[in-house]
Structure 1
Amino acid sequence: MIPPPLRHRARSLTEQMDAADCDPEMLDRTYARFRIVNALVAGWRTTYTRHLRPALSRDRPTTVLDIGSGGGDLSRGLVRWARRDGFDVRVTGIDPDPRAHAWARRRPPVPGASFRRATSRELVGEGRTFDLVISNHLLHHLDDEQLSDLLVDSQRLARVRAVHSDIRRSRWGYLLFAAGTAALHPVFRTSFIREDGLTSIRRSYTVPELRAVVPPVWRVTEQAPSRILLHHDADLLHDPDADPARLSWADRLPDPDHLGPS
């Protein structure tokens, strides 16, 4: 398979599952198979171990906000992983899409994981805060203004750390995903996984691209396989030794009292 040009983000492409009139049965099967895809390519066990587990508390429940939680498999998975490690984690998954919210609510409940149809801006307007803020496969869906809004909201909502994980666009990532989903054709053929996954790769960032558009208080790092992490520690804003140039953008964050629902 010859991949399409990948030098630049294919911003104009849209995923089939994002269409309001997409096939509801195909959409349900897509949500159902996200757990397989995330287990194979999302790398969240590594992200949890390196970036989330060190921030969990032994003394009290740790609260986590999962923005754009979709079918909710990551929210439920984080609760299970933390419980096995002896931590009490309470995850709130939010998604403005009524179809994703309905799917997540229909799954067997996991104590500690809850779901709400909402946007991050709505939670900022309510004055909510969480220890940790995360997202999975959200960044590539956003335009520049939406990305900026997400980062503003994340800094308002996260008391300790924010970690946004997404696909890193690359030729090998595209070819491997194409080959893997072709090999698993019987599993994915009745869903949007293959076509939308390839579209997602074409819409995703490279590390230099993402670094060029986010404020310097956010760090951009690579993670295998073909992943990109955007993360921020809230303590930086209170560190007297921090570089003032890195704090300048955060100092310009709008007052949450002036942020209405998006």
Structure 2
Amino acid sequence: MTLAVRDTRLRELMDDPDCDLERLHATLRRFSVVNRLVSGWGAVYRSTVAPYLRGLGRPARVLDLGCGGGDVIARLASLARREGIVAEWRGVDPDERSLAVARRYAAPGIRFEATDSSALRAAGERFDLVISNHVLHHLDPIAFATFRDDSRALSLGLVLHGDIARGRLAYGLYAAGITPLAPGSFLRTDGLRSIRRSFTAPELADALGSGWRVEQPAPFRVLAVSEGGDA
């Protein structure tokens, strides 16, 4: 095994439509812990999301594309609510299996829907902030380009796509650290495959092209940033 290049031949077990549903739901539920520990969204919220939403001076609309188990958008919504930031939060995912877990976070101002970026774009939807977490590394080149362009077209302002930064240290630390949470789930196998499929910061910048920049807001993380607003 080498981490020098992306291993795009790998497929995550949870992406199999016939995977074990109990293990899938366990994985999605435990992502709330994993993402809180390693995803870096707390720092991104403080440095970028909160100042941006406050600066709008009005209620905002926020979209999480490929929301999975829904924990990231629910966490951001909770942080914003504590600070008095008013927003409508929508999580979307084409996979109803994921939404069955995500909808536990549904509440006034937070809703979940089975759809994708292209359908939202075709419907003329627009949002002030568009985010995703751990989506980019799943996509083949055609789906990546569509997702990238759709996310900018859907945003009136900021777009933030968070993902893993591939590297040996990230791989080794995850392999050891995930052990307590792994039983009965896909967390270990899929997490390690995710790291091997993920981009380095320069690779991601090259794949995104003009109109984007790539930041590293936390260890082993990349954050693709665009101002969006494309028609």
Q: TM-score, normalised by structure 2?
A: 0.95
* Contact preservation (8 Å) 1:55, 1:160: no
* Structure 2 unaligned spans of 5+: none
In the superposition, relative to structure 1, how do residues 230 and 108 fare at CA in structure 2: closer, same or farther (>3 Å)?
A: closer
Name the structure 1 match of 2:191: 197
Q: TM-score, normalised by structure 1?
A: 0.84
Say which of 221, 225, 231 aligns to 1:231: 225
Which string of whole-angstrom CA distances, capped at 9 and with x for unpartnered residues, describes residues 225-250 of structure 1? 20001010137xxxxxxxxxxxxxx7
Q: CA deviation at 1:191?
A: 0.4
- How far, CA to CA, are the matches of 2:202 and 2:10 in structure 1? 21
Identity %, equivalent residues: 44
Name the structure 1 match of 2:30: 33
Amino acid at match of 2:153: R
Give the 3-state SS of the residue equivalent to 2:216 in structure 1: strand
* Contact preservation (8 Å) 2:74, 2:105: no
Runs of 4+ with deviation above 2 angstroms? 57-60, 108-111
* Contact preservation (8 Å) 1:130, 1:157: yes
- How far, CA to CA, are the matches of 1:29 and 1:155 in structure 2? 32
Q: CA deviation at 1:213?
A: 1.6
1:114 aligns with 2:104: no
1:74 aligns with 2:63: no
- Pairs within 5 Å for 1:73-112: 73-105=71-103, 107-112=104-109
Give the 3-state SS of the residue equivalent to 1:128 in structure 2: coil
Aligned residues: 230
* Contact preservation (8 Å) 2:153, 2:228: no
* Structure 1 unaligned spans of 5+: 236-249, 251-255, 257-262
Give the 3-state SS of the residue equivalent to 1:114 in structure 2: strand
* Contact preservation (8 Å) 2:67, 2:92: yes
1:56 aligns with 2:53: yes
Aligned CA RMSD, in angstroms, stands at 1.4
Which string of whole-angstrom CA distances, capped at 9 and with x for unpartnered residues, describes residues 64-121 of structure 1? 000000111111111100011110121110000111122222x153322100000110
Say which of 162, 166, 171 aligns to 1:165: 162
